[in-house]
């Protein structure tokens, strides 16, 4: 069992309505950021605002802008 702290963070994909990544670690934020920068499609499990959980395919090339908001847990808010 890992002693690494887990937390939730918001992922914005070209809209001001956030998707939530739950049970994340600092490495989760870093990995997601690298995936978004790579431009290659990938599958990510997210929680929608209505609290439903879905696995979605994210195509970074089709997203006009994205933002990860992990608060002060990992890094300051970044917009790409």
6-24 pLDDT, tens digit each? 899 999 999 999 999 999 9
1 located within any domain: no
21 located within any domain: yes
Domain that holds residue 13: 7-73
78 located within any domain: no
What's the whole-model pTM score? 0.79
32-73 pLDDT, tens digit each? 999 999 999 999 999 999 999 999 999 999 999 999 998 765
- pLDDT of res. 72: 63
Q: Give the three-state DSSP class for 53.
A: strand
Structural domain count, the chain: 1
Q: Looking up tokens 């490495």, which residue turns up? A: 27
Binned at pLDDT 50, 70 and 90, residue 5 comes out as: confident
39 located within any domain: yes
Alpha-carbon dihedral sign for residues 38, 23, 47, 77: negative
Question: In the predicted model, is pLDDT for residue 77 greater than 90?
Answer: no
Query: CB–CB of 79/65 below 8 Å?
Result: yes
């Amino acid at each position: 069992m890992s002693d690494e702290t887990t937390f939730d963070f918001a992922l914005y994909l070209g809209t001001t309505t956030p998707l939530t990544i739950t049970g994340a670690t600092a490495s989760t934020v870093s990995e997601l950021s690298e995936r978004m920068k790579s431009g290659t499609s990938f599958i990510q499990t997210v929680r929608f605002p209505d609290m439903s959980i879905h696995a979605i395919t994210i195509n970074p090339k089709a997203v006009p802008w994205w933002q990860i908001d992990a608060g002060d847990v990992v890094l300051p808010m970044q917009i790409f």
